[in-house]
């Protein structure tokens, strides 16, 4: 049988990794797919750039349009990134009747609904395993492995760069900017690294996970996003003293009123496995009603780890090339006409516990004023710790851990506490989840 011909858009970190894995494991991959797979045509912006892969035997161009218009190409693998040129190329490929594999979470989270509709019309597949959690086969696990469950919640460390930064800061006391630069050198970070550190990349991924978990359309614009740039070394140390770790989590929960969709730094008990996921590693916890809690762990970024997911998608597409489109696994796990309209909850309606750090004058009555506000807002306190007074400062850091309460009540309480004369500056807030 003729080999299946791949058109590859992008020869950077993931594109280069994909070429290497497909070449090195060609025989093993062909045994699985039932056919040989070759990259026949590839594009990159600058053809003179040194590559991490050997492109011998691949027709090269700096115009990705030539690849998606190539009649020999059956599967287009989009590894350019972004949501402009990549979007145009994916839509052209679909219009040309080609299957698509992509690692582009921004594209799927923002334009996935339209892309899948177009693909369904054309009877082609769009596979995106590498878009979430790098090499971890989390899409397949939720979409197929957990298909018998009603998914209740999921929570994950789904940005490798952010976790790498937090780990290096905590373990080695390294500066934020220095670790970010290293993550960029290693090829982990997005083209615009603010996507990593502000939680936008994690929100793209969480949007995709929630859609396949609950069978709702992709709604990235409704995700709540908070980054890691405001986390201080003091908060990391105080959290540890209390038995918690700070992780940047994407959390989604099905509630009777709607779906939570939120990315923010989170205190989690240090005894949880996910609290010990470090460096570029990712982990996703998924709770199904039948299976209980399940945990998926692996490299969240990097050339070959991500290529592993890209190649798995290519093999899946090759295996189903001849199958009737109606009998394929649906793009978002649920049949397209069976998507639910359960709303995404506004952050104000989300309920979590909190870690709060504030700086208060060390004098009688101040603590009573603060706890009085909590009492009036119906917020129960789990623990209060007063730290040592820093030299030359009249204010002392006080840490509160609260029980679960709606974000709306906490916003009002924080506003009232910050308005007290005895309080210096803003109240630092980090949400806390037990993930039990
Ligand atoms: P890179 O920047 O390393 O690679 C992008 C590739 O696209 C390069 O080969 C670049 O060409 C090419 N390209 C960019 N713009 C153009 C253009 N205008 N015309 C033609 N070619 C262009 O990115 P990554 O490999 O890191 O990421 C690719 C995708 O994979 C992104 O969607 C990313 O979010 C996703 N991803 C990345 C992971 C990672 O660990 N890096 C992990 C999981 C997903 P040239 O090389 O000549 O500049
Ligand atoms: N920039 C992303 C990360 C790449 O660091 O997780 C993997 O999606």
Whether residue 414 is contained in a domain is answered as yes
Q: Which ligand is nearest to the CA of 166?
A: 2
Mean model confidence pLDDT for the chain: 97
SS3 329: coil
pLDDT single digits (tens) 366-416: 999 999 999 999 999 999 999 888 888 889 999 999 999 999 999 999 999
Q: How far apart are the first and last CA of the chain?
A: 51
The pLDDT tens digits for 105-138 are 999 999 999 999 999 999 999 999 999 999 999 9
CA of 329 to the centre of ligand 1 (A): 27
pTM: 0.97
Domain limits for position 269 = 139-299
| Mutation pick for ligand 2 pocket among 15, 109, 138, 196 (CB with most ligand atoms within 8 Å) | 196
Q: What integer pLDDT is reported at residue 282 of this predicted model?
A: 98
**CATH number of the domain residue 58 falls in:** 3.40.50.720
Q: What is the reported pLDDT for 19?
A: 98
pLDDT given at position 393: 84
- What stretch of H or E contains 119? helix 105-122
CB within 6 Å of ligand 1 — which residues? 10-15, 43-46, 49, 64, 79-81, 85, 103-104, 130, 134, 187-188, 190-191, 301-302, 306
Judge whether 344 lies within some domain: no
Ligand 2 centre to CA of 156 (Å) is: 13
Q: For atom 36 of ligand 1, which residue has the closest CA?
A: 103
Instruction: Answer yes or no: do 254 and 167 share one domain.
Output: yes
User: Two tokens at 34?
Assistant: 């039932």
Asked whether residue 186 falls in the same domain as residue 289, the answer is yes
Looking at the fold, whether 143 and 278 belong to one and the same domain comes out as yes
Can you tell me the distance from the alpha carbon of 132 to that of 301, in angstroms, rounded to the nearest whole number?
Answer: 9
- Asked if residue 346 belongs to a domain, the reply is no
Closest CA to 319 of 38, 35, 128, 75: 35
The CA-atom distances, in angstroms, between 369 and each of 383, 392, 407, 418 are 16, 24, 21, 12
The DSSP bridge partners found for residue 295 are 285
Question: Number of structural domains, the chain?
Answer: 3
The predicted pLDDT at position 240 comes to 93
Which CATH number goes with the domain that contains 405? Answer: 3.30.70.260
Cα 77 vs. chain centroid, distance in angstroms? 21
- List phi, psi (to 5°) of 225: -135, 125
Whether residues 80 and 198 share a domain: the answer is no
At residue 39's C-alpha, the angle toward residues 33 and 41, to 5°, is 145
Rounded CA gap, 396 and 321, in Å? 66
**The token pair that represents 136 in the structure block:** 């971890």
Helices H, strands E: what count in the chain? 14, 17
pLDDT of residue 348: 98
Query: Is any ligand 2 atom within 6 A of the Cβ of residue 301?
Result: yes
Q: Is the pLDDT of residue 163 over 90?
A: yes
- Judge if 184 and 108 occupy the same domain: no
Which residue in the list 205, 230, 287, 363 is annotated as catalytic? Answer: 205
* Residue 205 annotated as catalytic: yes
Tokens of 345: 């909850």
Q: Report d(CA 63, CA 46) in Å as an integer.
A: 10
| Residue 263 bridge partners (DSSP) | 225, 250
Q: Residue 88 in contact with residue 115, Cβ under 8 Å?
A: no
In a domain, 276, yes or no: yes
Instruction: For residue 161, give the ligand 2 atom closest to its CA.
Output: 5
pLDDT at 322: 78
- In this structure, the answer to whether residues 186 and 286 fall within a common structural domain is yes
CB 277 within 8 A of CB 254: no
Q: Which ligand is nearest to the CA of 51?
A: 1
């Amino acid at each position: 049988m003729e080999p299946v011909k791949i058109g590859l858009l992008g020869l950077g970190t993931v594109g280069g990794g994909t070429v290497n894995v497909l070449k090195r494991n060609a025989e093993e991959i062909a045994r699985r797919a039932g056919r040989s797979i070759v990259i026949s045509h590839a594009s990159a912006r600058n053809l003179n750039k040194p590559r991490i892969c050997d492109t011998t035997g691949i027709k090269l161009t700096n115009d990705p349009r030539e690849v998606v218009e190539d009649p020999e190409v059956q599967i287009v693998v989009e590894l350019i990134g972004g949501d402009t040129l990549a979007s145009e190329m994916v839509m052209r490929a679909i219009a040309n009747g080609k299957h698509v594999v992509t690692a582009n979470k921004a594209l799927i989270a923002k334009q996935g609904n339209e892309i899948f509709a177009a693909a369904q019309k054309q009877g082609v597949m769009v596979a995106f395993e590498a878009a979430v959690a790098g090499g971890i086969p989390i899409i397949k696990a939720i979409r197929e492995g957990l298909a018998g469950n009603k998914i209740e919640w999921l929570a994950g460390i789904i940005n490798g760069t952010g976790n790498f930064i937090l780990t290096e800061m905590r373990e080695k006391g390294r500066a934020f900017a220095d670790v970010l630069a290293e993550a960029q050198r290693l090829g982990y970070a997005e083209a615009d690294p603010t996507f990593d550190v502000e939680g936008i990349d994690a929100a793209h991924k969480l949007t995709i996970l929630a859609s396949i978990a609950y069978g709702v359309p992709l709604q990235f614009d409704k995700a709540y996003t908070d980054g890691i740039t405001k986390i201080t070394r003091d908060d990391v140390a105080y959290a540890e003293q209390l038995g918690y770790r700070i992780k940047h989590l994407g959390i989604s929960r099905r509630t009777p009123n709607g779906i939570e969709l939120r990315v923010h730094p989170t205190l989690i008990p240090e005894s949880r496995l996910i609290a010990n996921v470090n460096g570029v590693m990712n982990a996703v916890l998924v709770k199904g009603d039948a299976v209980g809690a399940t945990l998926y762990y692996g490299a969240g970024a990097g050339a070959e780890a991500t290529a592993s997911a890209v190649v798995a998608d290519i093999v899946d597409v090759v295996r189903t090339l001849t199958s009737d489109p109606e009998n394929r696994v649906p793009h978002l796990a649920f049949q397209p006409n069976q998507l639910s309209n359960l709303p995404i909850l506004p952050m104000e309606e989300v309920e979590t516990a909190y870690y709060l750090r504030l700086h208060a004058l060390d004098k009688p009555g101040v603590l009573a004023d603060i706890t009085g506000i909590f009492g009036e807002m119906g917020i129960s306190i789990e623990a209060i710790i007063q730290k040592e007074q820093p030299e030359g400062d009249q204010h002392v850091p006080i840490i509160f851990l609260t029980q679960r309460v709606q974000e709306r009540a906490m916003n009002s309480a924080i506003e009232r506490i910050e308005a007290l004369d005895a309080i210096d500056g803003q109240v630092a807030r980090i949400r806390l989840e037990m993930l039990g």
